[in-house]
Amino acid sequence: MFRSLLKRLYVRLWVLPQIHRKYRSLPLKATFQEIYSSKGWGDNGTPFCSGEGSHGPVSRQYCDAVVDFIRDHQVRRVVDLGCGDFAVGRQIVEATGVEYIGIDVVPELIEHHNQTVNLPGVSFRLADITSDPLPAGDLCLVRQVLQHLSNEEIAKVLINVKSFPMVLVAEDVPAKPRSINRDKPHGPDVRGYYRSGVYLDQPPFSIAAKELWSFNLRKEALLRTVLIDRRNVISS
| pLDDT tens-place values along the chain, 236 residues long | 656 655 665 565 556 778 888 888 899 999 999 999 988 888 887 888 787 777 778 999 999 999 999 999 999 999 999 999 999 999 999 999 999 999 999 999 999 999 999 999 999 999 999 999 999 999 999 999 999 999 999 999 999 999 999 999 999 999 999 999 999 999 999 999 899 999 999 999 999 999 999 999 888 899 999 999 998 764 43
pLDDT value for 39: 86
* Domains, the chain, ordered by start: 2-235 (3.40.50.150)
Q: Count Cβ atoms below 10 Å from residue 2 Cβ, excluding itself.
A: 6
pLDDT value for 23: 85
Q: What is the DSSP letter of 82?
A: T
Q: How many H helices and E strands in the chain?
A: 8, 7
CB 131 within 8 A of CB 152: no
195 φψ region: left (φ > 0), alpha (ψ -120 to 50), beta (else): left
pLDDT value for 54: 77
Give the list of residues 6+ apart from residue 61 with CB closer than 8 angstroms, or none.
215, 223
pLDDT value for 124: 98
pLDDT value for 236: 38
CA-to-CA separations, 41 to 37, 49, 162, 178, in angstroms, rounded: 10, 6, 30, 25
pLDDT value for 87: 93
Q: What is the DSSP letter of 187?
A: S
pLDDT value for 224: 97
Closest alpha carbon to 124 in 81, 157, 91: 81
Q: Please report, as a single letter, which amino acid is at residue 184.
A: K
